[in-house]
Chain A
Amino acid sequence: MGTTTTTVPSAGPFAGSRSFLFRLREGDEIARLLTFLFAASVVLITVLLVYELWQGSALPRHQFGFSFFRTSAWDPVFDQFGALPFIYGTLVTSAVALLIAVPLGIGAAIFLAELAPLRLSDTLEFFIDLLAAVPSVIYGLLGIFIVVPLMRQVIQPQLKHYLGFLPLFKGPAFGLGFLTAGVVLAIMIIPYIISVSREILLSVPRDQREAALALGATRWESTWKVVVPFARTGISGSIFLALARALGETMAVTMVIGNTPIISASLLSPGDSIASVIASQFKEATGELYTQSLIELGLVLFLLTFILNGLARIMIVVTSKRGTGMVHV
């Protein structure tokens, strides 16, 4: 919305000196109107989406009210619906995915942008872009055939053996569950983080690096203490883009999460996510309350994305106030 309002006023230096007709003939006015319409359509689609989800979920909103967010029953037979296990599953899988993907992704981006020879960097970038374009159902299949057996036979037994005293790694090792879904999501979002972060790092001005080196910093010090903080805002942006994809991912998650709406502290436990339950149950859902509850879940996912996006923006504003590009020693 911010972008539309800033593009609307045409108070350029020539705004007064040229007539409307002249500008129309020159194409400026047409371009302005057209692009304004395109920008406005984004707002329109968002509003329409919320309106439809709101309208479509009237029944459960009246019947359950706020308890929809607090209860964990999901029982289509007895018409009891609560969103809590799905919200939990969405947040946990996304958190696991970010925990794995952020250090890996940013590390790889730093290597590609700062340390690798340009030719190698460009070649790798080609593969990363390729990975980002792979459809999520392919990642789901990869999850079923490779990640799930690996988890069940190797990783989860090891985790239980060494870290089994933690509540995070209790319970039987099915192979399916929060952890597996998080790992598959991480594989999916790493290319996003690498690709965007690399571009951001490459766009850091040369003199920032040169100044640091001139002050006697080593190459790594200049990278870690000057370049990365300078690019902090952009890197956060790449993480939020990745988070958005993780929150809304449907196919890959539903194939490996175990599809059981339970809240468990154990990452080995099967669970379910909002996007996954909508995709798997909407098609055959019968009964108004059931269908509308699924639509309300859609609204919840929208809200969740909205809130996390808002928090992310606030975080960027707060951190950049401390001064991007300043060296913290």
Chain B
Amino acid sequence: MKRIAGILLIGLGLASFFLAEATLSITGAGATFPYPMYSKWFDEYHKKNPSVEINYQSIGSGGGIRQVTEGTVDFGASDGPMSDEQLKAYQDKHGFGILHFPTVLGAVVPTYNIPGVTAFLNFTPEALAGIYLGKVTKWNDALIAGANEGVNLPADDIIVVHRAESSGTTYVWTDFLSKVSEEWKTKVGKGTAVKWPVGLGGQGNEGVTGTVKNTSDSIGYVELIYAESNKIPYGNVKNAAGVFVKASLAGVTAAAAAKAMPDDFRVSITNAPGKDAYPISSFTWLLIPEKFSDTAKRDALRGFVSWMLADGQNYAEALSYARLPQEVVAKEKKALSKIQ
């Protein structure tokens, strides 16, 4: 009896050993914005391919870039493309480069709280830059009122709200303002955190929303998916073609399709051309090393990316992310062979 139990135990041990060996574990870290999308994808992919398990930690874009550069994770993820210096730092450390793969798109929308105003406001890029520079200080300023005829805007001071912590959302917002305003570009610039000329800082999307909701005559910016899922009203923004566009998933995809995609996929699509394009939108990227010493990991990651580009995209809209345009998908499929 004892012997049988012993044999069973050994058998069980061996089985678990081989089973454990058969599951390939891949680790990634980075952006928080696409985290709901990624965890859904990694989960679905694991169901379809039980041998591959992808663990993702949403520690922030900066952390993702740091960790993949240090080699502590197999891949990174970021809401903003890596800078030339960061790419060089990676190249110097590893002797080979790192590739960007766009996964989905997101958008940032202006939200506001003006007592008595129920209409959806139109914002020109000049008005948004002026407000965030502290130059447009009253709601009835000609720059705002000119685009909103028939709306009775008060002569009250505008209270500006921005993100307190560094975030991809701020990157997209300031990237847009840098493109539409020369003064913003030289005085403030773009980044995950900037030196704000005016305003209050709120922690996270919920902090900005909370402050805007509680403060009369305030304006802030939040991610589209956050505004959608929390039913927050948001304004229309004038795009490069001169049309006021309300942010929508289709408008974001249109912006992505309108911009020529470079070979390294590091592209900013804010203020994109095309009359349907929503101007404050951005890709979010996976950062995958060019070379893998472990071929099993390489094949698994390639497999995941090609699944993500095909079936994976169908999950995007349900989670309020905009899917990639067909042109980008085709281009990324070709780029997969660069992972060696």
Residues of chain A whose beta carbon lies under 8 Å from any beta carbon of chain B: 73-78, 80, 144, 148-149, 152, 172, 174-176, 254-255, 258-260, 270, 272, 279-281, 283-287, 291
**Once the chains bind, are A283 and B165 in contact (CB under 8 Å)?**
yes
Count A-B pairs with CB separation below 8 Å: 91
**Once the chains bind, are B190 and A77 in contact (CB under 8 Å)?**
yes
Give the residue of A148, A254, A286 whose beta carbon is less than 8 angstroms from that of B65. A286
**Once the chains bind, are A284 and B210 in contact (CB under 8 Å)?**
no
**Once the chains bind, are A286 and B62 in contact (CB under 8 Å)?**
yes
Contact A285 to B62, CB < 8 A, known contacts A75-B195, A77-B191? yes
**Nearest chain B CB to A206 CB, angstrom units:** 51
**Nearest chain A CB to B93 CB, angstrom units:** 13
Query: Can you spell out 27 A-B residue pairs with CB atoms less than 8 angstroms apart?
Result: A76-B166, A76-B193, A76-B195, A77-B190, A77-B195, A78-B195, A144-B210, A152-B214, A152-B215, A174-B159, A174-B200, A174-B215, A175-B214, A176-B200, A258-B201, A259-B165, A259-B202, A260-B201, A270-B200, A272-B201, A280-B166, A280-B203, A283-B60, A284-B61, A285-B62, A286-B66, A291-B62
List 5 other contacts, CB 8 Å, given A77-B195, A281-B193, A283-B60: A75-B195, A76-B191, A77-B188, A259-B201, A283-B59
Interface string of B62-78 (1 = CB under 8 A from A): 11011000000000000
Chain B residues with CB under 8 Å of A148's CB are: 214
Give the residue of A76, A149, A260, A279 whose beta carbon is less than 8 angstroms from that of B200. A260
**Once the chains bind, are A78 and B196 in contact (CB under 8 Å)?**
no
Residues of chain B whose beta carbon lies under 8 Å from any beta carbon of chain A: 59-63, 65-66, 83, 85-86, 157, 159, 164-168, 188-196, 199-203, 207, 210-211, 214-215
**Once the chains bind, are A285 and B201 in contact (CB under 8 Å)?**
no
Chain B residues with CB under 8 Å of A281's CB are: 165-166, 193
Shortest Cβ distance from A261 into B: residue = B195
**Once the chains bind, are A78 and B189 in contact (CB under 8 Å)?**
yes
Chain A residues with CB under 8 Å of B65's CB are: 286
**Once the chains bind, are B62 and A283 in contact (CB under 8 Å)?**
yes
Chain B residues with CB under 8 Å of A176's CB are: 200, 211
**Nearest chain A CB to B174 CB, angstrom units:** 8
Chain B residues with CB under 8 Å of A76's CB are: 166, 191-195
**Once the chains bind, are A260 and B199 in contact (CB under 8 Å)?**
yes
**Nearest chain B CB to A237 CB, angstrom units:** 33
Please measure, in the bound complex, the distance between the C-alpha atom of A259 and the C-alpha atom of B195, giving whole angstroms. 11
Give the residue of A152, A172, A175, A284 whose beta carbon is less than 8 angstroms from that of B166. A284
**Once the chains bind, are A284 and B165 in contact (CB under 8 Å)?**
yes
Chain A residues with CB under 8 Å of B215's CB are: 152, 174-175
Shortest Cβ distance from B78 into A: residue = A286
**Once the chains bind, are A74 and B195 in contact (CB under 8 Å)?**
yes
**Nearest chain B CB to A283 CB, angstrom units:** 4
Chain A residues with CB under 8 Å of B190's CB are: 77
Please measure, in the bound complex, the distance between the C-alpha atom of A211 and the C-alpha atom of B189, giving whole angstroms. 72
Chain B residues with CB under 8 Å of A283's CB are: 59-60, 62-63, 165-166
Contact A259 to B200, CB < 8 A, known contacts A172-B157, A283-B62, A284-B165? yes
Please measure, in the bound complex, the distance between the C-alpha atom of A287 and the C-alpha atom of B191, giving whole angstroms. 11
Chain B residues with CB under 8 Å of A286's CB are: 61-62, 65-66, 83, 86, 192
Please measure, in the bound complex, the distance between the C-alpha atom of A254 and the C-alpha atom of B204, giving whole angstroms. 11
**Once the chains bind, are A284 and B63 in contact (CB under 8 Å)?**
yes
**Nearest chain B CB to A193 CB, angstrom units:** 28
Shortest Cβ distance from B159 into A: residue = A174
Give the residue of A78, A175, A284 whose beta carbon is less than 8 angstroms from that of B192. A284
**Once the chains bind, are A73 and B62 in contact (CB under 8 Å)?**
no
Chain B residues with CB under 8 Å of A77's CB are: 188-191, 194-195
